[in-house]
Each structure stands twice: as structure tokens, then as C-alpha cells.
Amino acid sequence: MNTFKPIPKKGNIIVAVAAISLFLATSAQALPKIKILATGGTIAGAQASTSDAGYKSGSFSVDDLIKAVPAMTNLAALSGEQVANIGSQTMNHEVWLKLAKRVKEVLAGDTDGVVITHGTDTMEETAYFLNLLIDSDKPVVLVGSMRPATAIGADGPANLYNAVALAADPAARGRGPLVMLNDTIHYARETQKTHTTHLDTFRSLNRGPAGVMNTGKAFFYNQNTMRRGGFSPDGLTVDNLPDVEIAYSYANFGGDGIDDMVKRGAKGIILAGVGDGNTTDAALAALEKAAKAGVVVVRSSRVGSGIVDRNVEVNDDKLGFITAMELNPQKARVLLMLGLTRTKDLKELQKLFTEY
């Protein structure tokens, strides 16, 4: 018996090749489109030598970062764009606004999600700024690293891989900007950097982490119930963002520094108070004087977690103060800065701190 199969005709081969090509094209199109917007930071940093503890942030471009983790191309159809290339200790309003406007533009198109590479020093502030300005339900994930790209045991590649996987995951939709480091997912409102060098430096001390990444898959623990969005980057410029300063309280803290902030034209002052947002009598007197002069004063706490509620230890009604609730001083500054572009009414501003 002849067991050999007949040789396919040329036409059949063409049909088969066309079918395979169509399958591969369809599979490629099925991958979500993820845009990586790079701003620099440690994740793109390089040491002068392997024995050098110091490094230069932003030494590598977004294309370098993508090439360094080729497995990401199995997760998404990737494209990259360099928005800035700085260490996040020098993050500023100009870059914030440029980034917010670009994120909004990208998400308005056919992109399925955005990953933002960022230094860890001010990542929590940038994330919260975007949390207030971005209304899209598409995922926005901020990612960084604690070790530069050239370091032994660099954490950047794994963090970036997880960030892309998270941005490509439909479960990340509708959660607002997320922060991803060390296999842990955090909500922008909740997280803060808590250690100078540890890989698990980002913690969500009040409400806990949003979830974890495990083998490239997202597992969410909870849904954040606080408001997000509602503000818009449209029309905002560096010049029309009001000056909001932070006054850090300590033993024997006087009021001269607060008086100087007012003289320099501060529109708002955040008190990074001791304990439950308290401070010295001298500082309280200076803050009361500032409030009477039209400067909006918000009490927060330097301890990093907990609620600073109204009229607890300090008579906010009498002094004309606002309380930051769960927001730490640096995030309270972001909310007050944007809130002041909308209103100076103390009741309306306090409502923002209660809802956001």
C-alpha cells in the first residue's frame, strides 16, 4: 500500500501560507497597545562603575529600556516616547503638565494603556497629580526602580515587565493611576516612599496595597473608593498654578518661616505637623495670621499615616484651617494647588480633601 501523501498543488500552498499569515497578523493585532512614556529616573540610570554607589539618572532612553526586556513584546504592542529625562528629585510643574497633557492625548486614541517610567523620589506626587487630572478608565501605571540599570541585581527590568503586564490587563481599568514596584500594586492616592534604599520602599500605609503581581499576572485585593479625575490639564500652565508651600514642624518651631512664605506670595501653606497635625503655639499663631490674610492653611502630619480630622487638638473652625484627612503633606500640597485653581472657599476646599 502506498502511504505517501500527494504533493499539494501550488494553489493549496498559497492558500495555506495566506491563512497562516492572516492568523499571525490577527494574533499580533490582538495584543493590547501600550505606550511607554519615559521621564528618566533610577530605572534609566547608570553607575560610573560597578563599585560606585552613585549613579546618573536618565542615562538610558526609552528605546534602551524596551530593548532590555524583550519578553515584553509578548505582552503588548509597545511604543515609546521620551517626555523628559531627569532624576525625579528635580521633577517640576512644567514636566508634570507636559506629562498630564500627553497622557490624556495618548489615552484619547487607540492606545489601551500607558506606562510611565519615573524616579522614585517624587513618584507618589506625580502619580497623585495624574490621579486628579486623568479621567480615562484606561490603565496608567507608574514604574521605577531602586537600583540603576547597571547595578548588580537591578530591579528595573522586572518592574518594567510587570508594569506593562499590568497596563495590558483589563482588570486594571477604572482604577486610576497605579504605582508598580517590587511585585506590588499601589493606588496613586495611597502609596508613599518609606525607605531610602530598600526595594519594598513603597507602602500604602492607610488602606493597604491594591494588589500584587505574580508571574506577570495581576491580583487585586480591593477597589479604591475615593474620587479621582475631575480636574483637567487643559488651560493649566506653570504660571497659573498657585504657589503652595510646606511648613515642617519640629520642637521649638517658630513662626518666622511661615511669615516669610506669606511675604513671598504663597497662596497656600501645608503644615507638616507633629502627631495629629499639631505644632507649636508660635507656629499656630503665624498660621492663624496667614489664614486671616487670605492664605489657605491645611493641617497634615509628618508621621506618614493616619487621619488629620477637623477640630481634633486644634480648633480649625476658629483658626480658619482645613485638614488634610489621610493625605500626607506632599500630596496635600498637590490637591490644594489644583483646588485653588477652582475656588478659595474653605468649605469647598475641605470637601475636596474629604472626597479625594
For each successive 10 residues of the chain (356 residues), what is the average pLDDT? 46 47 52 98 74 65 94 97 97 98 98 98 98 98 96 96 98 98 98 98 98 97 96 95 98 98 98 98 98 98 97 98 98 98 98 98
* Residue 153 burial (C-beta neighbours within 10 Å; 0-12, 13-18, 19+): exposed
Q: Are residues 105 and 138 in the same domain?
A: yes
Domain boundary among the residues 220, 236, 253 is at: 220
Angle at 255 between CA 252 and CA 259, to 5 degrees: 160
282-287: long-range contacts at Cβ-Cβ below 8 A with a sequence spacing of 24 or more? 282/253, 282/254, 282/255, 283/247, 283/249, 283/253, 283/254, 283/255, 283/258, 284/314, 284/319, 285/255, 286/254, 286/255, 286/256, 286/258, 286/259, 287/247, 287/255, 287/258, 287/319, 287/321
Is 59 a member of any domain? yes
Is 10 a member of any domain? no
Residues of the domain holding 114 = 31-220
Is 25 a member of any domain? no
Is 349 a member of any domain? yes
Is 20 a member of any domain? no
In DSSP terms, 214 is beta-bridged to 217
Q: Are residues 214 and 248 in the same domain?
A: no
Q: Are residues 270 and 121 in the same domain?
A: no
pLDDT recorded at residue 54: 63
Residue 353 is placed in which grid cell? 480633601
Q: What is the identity of the amino acid at 243?
A: D
Domain boundary among the residues 185, 220, 255 is at: 220
pLDDT recorded at residue 13: 47
Domain boundary among the residues 220, 236, 256 is at: 220
Query: Can you tell me the distance from the alpha carbon of 140 to that of 209, in angstroms, rounded to the nearest whole number?
Result: 16
Q: What is the identity of the amino acid at 323?
A: T
Active site residues: 42
How many folded domains does the chain comprise? Answer: 2
Q: Are residues 50 and 138 in the same domain?
A: yes
Is 154 a member of any domain? yes
Question: Any idea what the CATH number is for the domain that residue 331 is in?
Answer: 3.40.50.40
DSSP 103-142: HHHHHHTT--EEEEE--SSSHHHHHHHHHHH----S-EEE
Query: Can you tell me the distance from the alpha carbon of 296 to that of 291, in angstroms, rounded to the nearest whole number?
Result: 6
pLDDT recorded at residue 240: 94
Is 136 a member of any domain? yes
Q: Are residues 214 and 255 in the same domain?
A: no
Is 215 a member of any domain? yes
Q: Are residues 191 and 333 in the same domain?
A: no
Question: Any idea what the CATH number is for the domain that residue 201 is in?
Answer: 3.40.50.1170
Q: Are residues 205 and 258 in the same domain?
A: no
pLDDT recorded at residue 174: 97
Q: Are residues 260 and 202 in the same domain?
A: no
Q: Are residues 59 and 180 in the same domain?
A: yes
Q: Are residues 320 and 186 in the same domain?
A: no
